[in-house]
Amino acid sequence: MADLGFVGLGVMGGELVNRLIRKGHTVTGYNRTKSKAEWLIKAGMKWADSPRAVAAADITFSMVTNSAALECIVEGPEGILAGLAPGKIYVDISTVSPDYSRAVAEKVRAKGANMLDSPVSGSVITLQEGKLSVMVGGRKETFEKVKPILLDIGPKVTYVGGNGQALVLKIASNLSLAVQMLAFSEGVLLAEKSGISREIAVDVLTNSAIGSPMVKYRGPFVIKLPDEAWFNIDMMQKDMLLALELGRKLDVPLPSTAVANEFLTAARGIGLQKEDFAVVFDVLAKLCGVKR
């Protein structure tokens, strides 16, 4: 059992902390809005008043929305960097710019500590079912120290390479989510406008050869959206823009990513940015005269 810290207790971060507590670990947490962490405090999480205080733990995790949010919790007199001591380990689970993550890792090493980027693949449901997969970038010896704890998060933990490399792989994975959802929506609407009920189309397509785990989980969202977005338009577009930026940097054309990203922009344009990214279906449906 380990002495852990966790900064960023949103939907996924909170569920991760809850899982770590249930695995028997001691977790000290911080979130910008304390009220969102009350359920975790009741579940046994200790509260800290700053990221710096959280970083007193042997291993500190963080999960925030983007590079700017990561900078807010890492830098400054009350940031994670200020609280790190030699020998400590910092693991960031956020999906952020690989270049920025590498820059933070250098600052962490300057404190005598070590950093891993460790994004996860899956949704809240995947996590609750114990099926989350974890990618890890950083020094191999640091990875080996943290691996047993990561296995408590999910059964599939893969060491990818140096700092930033796990983030590259996460971005490569996430771009496919929006592309798959758009293609799935095209298929459903083609069937629906041919006279096939949406429910039948969803049932057949999600159980066909195209039924990836993502399609199986999100396919039904074209019938009814979840009450709370698993991964909203803003978050998905952030990852698509990271992918497009990386593609330009590496001279890798990403045509399907670019098209899917335009549908995310369209969703924002009609006020759906806080909905799950499955609402790309609604954008496409509007274009062909179909109502949800």
Enumerate the CATH 1.10.1040.10 domain ranges in the chain, comma separated.
Answer: 168-287
**Angle (CA) 116 144 128, round 5°:** 70
Number of other CB atoms surrounding residue 134 within 10 Å: 24
Q: Give percent above pLDDT 90 in the chain.
A: 90
Which residue out of 23, 107, 156, 170 is catalytically annotated? 170
Enumerate the CATH 3.40.50.720 domain ranges in the chain, comma separated.
Answer: 3-162
pTM score: 0.90
**150 phi/psi in degrees, rounded to 5:** -65, -35
Q: Domain 3-162, CATH 3.40.190.10 — does that match?
A: no
- How confident is the model over 278-292, as pLDDT tens digits? 999 999 999 999 987
Q: Domain 168-287, CATH 3.40.50.970 — does that match?
A: no
Q: Are 123 and 231 in contact (CB under 8 A)?
A: yes
* Pick from 19, 93, 25, 28: nearest CA to 55: 28
Provide the pLDDT confidence category of residue 150 given band limits of 50, 70 and 90.
very high
Provide the pLDDT confidence category of residue 126 given band limits of 50, 70 and 90.
confident
Indicate if 224 belongs to the active site. no
